[in-house]
Amino acid sequence: MHLFKGTAARIDFRVGARIDYERRVASKDRVLDIGGRNATSHSNKTLRELSTNTNTAIVSTDVVSDYAPDLVDDICNTQIPSATFDGVYCAAVLEHVEDYGAAVNNIHKVLKPGGEVFIYVPFFWCFHDLMDYHRFTFTELDRMLRAFREYKLFLPDGNGYGGVLWQVLTFYQISKFPRLWHALSAVVNSAIAVPLTLAYALTRSNQAASGISLRQYRFFYIHLRMNHGFCAWARK
């Protein structure tokens, strides 16, 4: 089995890659925050904190008018004109839309040529909303972005397999304590790296024939096979 299903060239294997891509999008001149509720939301705060551009304008959208977004809009059937935004931020939203394919197509549409998008989607995460419809593998995220000129897949954090284990053991309450979650996850991930190293050594010839290094082998089993979610950056 080829572990990465042909996606290896599009994966950024750095565990801390997320903030670099988020900052790129947050620093654009005009950023669309999809499902971002309003100017007081967590996503809006994240964008403002990460932006290195003092002229960045953030436009928050949501389908719920009671949230008082800058613009009431459904990204699956958007009324936003084409080529309107330099950046799009879409974190933990696509699981809540009925047609995520249409949503991604519309993200592509509203971006200007050369515009960039940051996306986070859940994979191993509990049911958390009445409008909670989808979970995404890293290979599905790869497939979704093929209309873009360039894109990369990467991790939301370094929690990986250990993070999922602690989520299950604590009924997902551990995520309320991110530093503790990360520390406990790191202990588990370090422990399972040992048998993974042995397994790689036993199948080294097969892995080498597929072009899989020990680092990539451990990355797959610790971070891609089971993670709370995955991230992507894409350029139109």
Q: What is the DSSP string of 39-76?
A: TTSHHHHHHHHH---TT-EEEEEES-GGG--SEE--GG
In a domain, 221, yes or no: no
In a domain, 114, yes or no: yes
Query: pLDDT (tens digit, 9 = 90+) per residue, 87-112?
Result: 999 999 999 999 999 999 999 999 99
Determine contact, residues 61/73, Cβ cutoff 8 Å: yes
In a domain, 39, yes or no: yes
What mean pLDDT comes out for the span 220-229?
97
Largest pairwise CA distance in the chain: 59
In a domain, 192, yes or no: no
What mean pLDDT comes out for the span 154-159?
98
| Cα–Cα distance for residue pair 22/157, rounded to 1 Å | 12
In a domain, 181, yes or no: no
Determine contact, residues 59/30, Cβ cutoff 8 Å: yes
Q: What is the DSSP letter of 11?
A: B
pLDDT of residue 178: 96
What mean pLDDT comes out for the span 15-35?
98
Would the pLDDT of 45 be above 90?
yes
pLDDT of residue 1: 52
pLDDT of residue 208: 86
Phi and psi angles of residue 195, each rounded to the nearest 5 degrees, phi first:
-65, -30
Would the pLDDT of 124 be above 80?
yes
Number of structural domains in the chain: 1
| Cα–Cα distance for residue pair 155/48, rounded to 1 Å | 22
Q: For residue 19, give the nearest of 56, 46, 59, 54 by alpha carbon.
A: 46
Residue 110, CB-side half-sphere exposure with 13 Å CA sphere: 26
The mean pLDDT value of the chain amounts to 96
pTM (2 d.p.): 0.96
Determine contact, residues 157/186, Cβ cutoff 8 Å: no
Domain carrying residue 12: 8-157+228-235
What mean pLDDT comes out for the span 37-63?
96
Bridge partner residues of 119 (DSSP): 90, 232
What mean pLDDT comes out for the span 195-201?
97
We report the CATH number of the domain holding residue 78 as: 3.40.50.150
pLDDT of residue 5: 84
What mean pLDDT comes out for the span 148-158?
98
Would the pLDDT of 2 be above 90?
no
In a domain, 46, yes or no: yes
In a domain, 111, yes or no: yes
Bridge partner residues of 137 (DSSP): none
